[in-house]
Homo-oligomer: A and B are copies of this chain.
Amino acid sequence: MELLEERIRREARVLPGNIIKVDGFLNHRVDVAFMRELASEIRRRFSLDGLTAVLTVEASGIALATVCALEFGVPMIFAKKAKSDNIEGGLYQSEIFSYTYKKKVTLLMSAQWLKSGDKVLIVDDFLANGEALRGLVDIVNQAGAELLGIGVAIEKGFQGGGDRLRSQGVNVQSLAIIERADENGVVFRS
């Protein structure tokens, strides 16, 4: 998506460790009007007939997922990362490795909000190693729900998570795929 690639070229900063900071519009200060453009592009890339929910995982995916859910006319459900005691029984659980926090994290979702018969689209702001998304796909499978695909704003293609999911037959659509990022700038997959 040219509009997103341009914005990344203009505003992203590349930090050591292949960290690509886009916190001026995507995941700290969020340009919500721009998220609406991303949501329109995500809609264009999927067949969303019968969609019942947009799924994401806390925290930074919630903003884009909320805008997508508004635009698509369905609720948004976000998986929680195990840590609070405000969640009781009746849960789908999936253990992932969080590269951000450098430890195992368990994704949780109340079973009552996702059932067989649901048709869902997973949305996230970033896809790198794909662990969080792998956990969400696992939860969708546990629920017996139908996964229409995964829509992501920015994929770090060189970390392989997106291609791993694709090789398992998941329809992953990333609006910008970064193949290389260093002090010379950012190169996108064409």
Contacts and interface: CB of A to CB of B under 8 A. Distances in A.
Interface of A: 15, 19, 21, 23-24, 28-33, 35-36, 53, 58-60, 62-63, 66-67, 69-70, 73, 75-78, 80, 83-86, 88, 100-101, 109-110, 112-113
- A interface: dominant SS: mixed
How many monomers of this protein are in the complex? 2
Contacts of A32: 66, 69-70, 75-76
Given A29-B53, A58-B60, 10 more contacts: A30-B75, A30-B76, A32-B69, A32-B75, A33-B70, A35-B66, A66-B66, A66-B67, A84-B100, A84-B101
Contact of A66 (B29, B30, B100, B113): B30
Interface centre among A19, A31, A33, A63 (most CB of B within 10 A): A63
Contacts of A70: 32-33, 36, 67, 70
Contact of A58 (B19, B23, B59, B67): B59
Contacts of A77: 28-30
